[in-house]
Amino acid sequence: MVRKCIAIALLGFALCACRENPEKDAPGQKQFTCELEQTKTALSGQSVIWSQEDKIKVYSATCQAGEVFTLAGGEGTSAASFTGTQPGAAPYVAVYPGDMAQRYVSSSEVGLTLPGEQEYCAGGFAPGSNPAVAFAEGDNLAFRNACGLLAIRMTGSASVTRLVLTDLSGAKIWGSGSVSADDGCFVRADGGVGDDTLTLTCPAPVQLGEEPTAFYFVLPAGSLGEGFSLKIVDADGGAMNVRGAGNGANAIARSTICAMPVFAYQVNESAFLSEGVYGVYDLASGTPVAVKAYVAGSDQVALRTAASTATFRIQNLAGAWALSISVPRSLQPGQTCSLAVSSIGTTGVADATVNAVLVKSEGGKCWLEDKEHKVGYIIAESL
């Protein structure tokens, strides 16, 4: 895969200016009014607004433990007031969201910790998952995004439960690090917590459709430059493994969305796909159970093709049984078809016509799934 990078002026809370409230603060308290630049995000086209849960953490040289500021007014607007305990004297270092702040380093550097698990949010990234940092000599704070985003966009019919991303360079894509005033980028720390694999979980299975659904990872700048692997897991226990190109093609840049080309979700890893013997399988338990499978040495197989259909047959002359499975010819992986089953003798399989998806075609064999009835079929594509 190659990337299509879209520069964005604002991701979540990309740019905001904070100024000291001109009204007199209560003793020991501080109030800031935070003004958000009124542009549209490149993620969802929604105005950038403050939420009730938003918190920022403000540090200074005389308050190195930092103080947490909470929203006091202006929820749902671009200008909101935050209150908290006086965070010492300027210069200030501020972090959004406050719970990612790790430690004060200096007036030009602050430590952060990126979480090892992120959560899916329809139309963008989850609130509080995209860190922004501000450095200022006075009371006006301009927040900048510390990370960039990877957008995975899919179509299909499955329900996605999680995505697992791995940086093929082995570099950490979550964990401890720091942000400096020089470039505003999150820089991974040597040692400390973190890993090269990050999971994006879905609070509820996300149903794919004909229109692309986007899943966003928040990542440090410079990540994925040597490529990545991605495992997408569905609610039925199947998975699709995808690889992204290296050579800098998918390198993440700060405050930028690296958007992968749209692709169709297609299972290429499951317990059923690990089976290799012709036959019919019960998939209801998640572990394939052979209902009727070919036995080499005693059973016979045949493949008959017509103008538009192909019929695969397993039979045992001594046992006086036969099982035929017919599907359309020229079926492509991911396509749904009408599959007809015909049974003679005692096979344990009833005559039926069902809708089945071709999930894999390899080595002269086809793997098809009837998802409604949780039945799998392995037939010959060629003999």
Q: Is 276 found in the same domain as 256?
A: no
Q: What is the pLDDT of residue 264?
A: 93
Residues 6 or more apart whose Cβ sits within 8 Å of residue 21: 31, 32, 33, 81
The tens digit of pLDDT for each residue in 213-226 reads: 999 999 999 999 99
- Look up residue 26 and give its DSSP letter: P
- Look up residue 49 and give its DSSP letter: -
Based on the structure, what is the number of domains in the chain? 2
Residues 6 or more apart whose Cβ sits within 8 Å of residue 298: 316, 318
**Helix, strand, or coil here: 100?**
helix
Look at residues 264, 294, 312 and tell me which one is the last residue of a structural domain. 264
Q: What is the distance between the alpha carbons of residues 88 and 176, in angstroms, rounded to a whole number?
A: 25
Give the type of residue at 228.
F
Asked whether 221 and 148 are in contact (CB, 8 A), the reply is: yes
Cβ-count burial of 109 within 10 angstroms (0-12 exposed, 13-18 middle, 19+ buried)?
Answer: middle
Residues 6 or more apart whose Cβ sits within 8 Å of residue 90: 60, 136, 137, 138, 139
Q: Is 287 found in the same domain as 258?
A: no
Q: Tokens 């994925």 identify what position?
A: 224
Q: Is 146 found in the same domain as 260?
A: yes
Q: Is 204 found in the same domain as 297?
A: no
Q: Is 206 found in the same domain as 118?
A: yes
Q: What is the pLDDT of residue 244?
A: 93
> What percent of the chain clears pLDDT 70, i.e. is strictly above it?
88
Q: Is 112 found in the same domain as 138?
A: yes
Give the type of residue at 378.
I
Q: Is 155 found in the same domain as 27?
A: yes
pLDDT of the chain, 383 residues: tens digit per residue: 444 444 443 344 334 444 444 444 556 788 777 765 333 234 444 445 668 888 989 999 999 999 999 988 878 776 677 889 999 999 999 998 999 999 999 999 999 999 999 999 998 888 888 888 989 887 777 888 899 999 999 999 899 999 999 999 999 999 999 999 999 999 988 777 899 999 999 999 999 999 999 999 999 999 999 999 999 999 988 899 999 998 888 999 998 889 999 999 988 889 999 999 999 999 998 899 999 999 999 999 999 999 999 999 999 999 999 999 999 998 888 889 999 999 999 888 999 999 999 989 999 999 999 989 999 999 999 98
* Helix or strand run (H / E) with residue 80: strand 79-85
State the residue range of the domain holding 324.
272-380
Look at residues 240, 264, 288 and tell me which one is the last residue of a structural domain. 264
53-73 CB burial, b ≥16 within 10 A, e <16: ebbbbbbbeebeebbbbebee
**Helix, strand, or coil here: 99?**
helix
- Look up residue 25 and give its DSSP letter: P
Q: What is the pLDDT of residue 320?
A: 95
Q: Is 340 found in the same domain as 252?
A: no
Give the type of residue at 221.
A
Q: What is the pLDDT of residue 130?
A: 87
Q: Is 248 found in the same domain as 308?
A: no
Q: Is 130 found in the same domain as 74?
A: yes
Q: Tokens 């630049």 identify what position?
A: 37
The tens digit of pLDDT for each residue in 96-139 reads: 899 999 999 999 999 999 999 999 999 888 888 888 898 988 77
Q: What is the distance between the alpha carbons of residues 316 and 308, in angstroms, rounded to a whole number?
A: 27
Work out the number of other CB atoms within 10 angstroms of the CB of residue 45. Answer: 9
Q: Is 189 found in the same domain as 159?
A: yes
Look at residues 235, 264, 293 and tell me which one is the last residue of a structural domain. 264
Q: Is 161 found in the same domain as 78?
A: yes
First to last CA, the chain: 34
203-226 CB burial, b ≥16 within 10 A, e <16: eeebebeeebbbbbbbbbbbbbbb
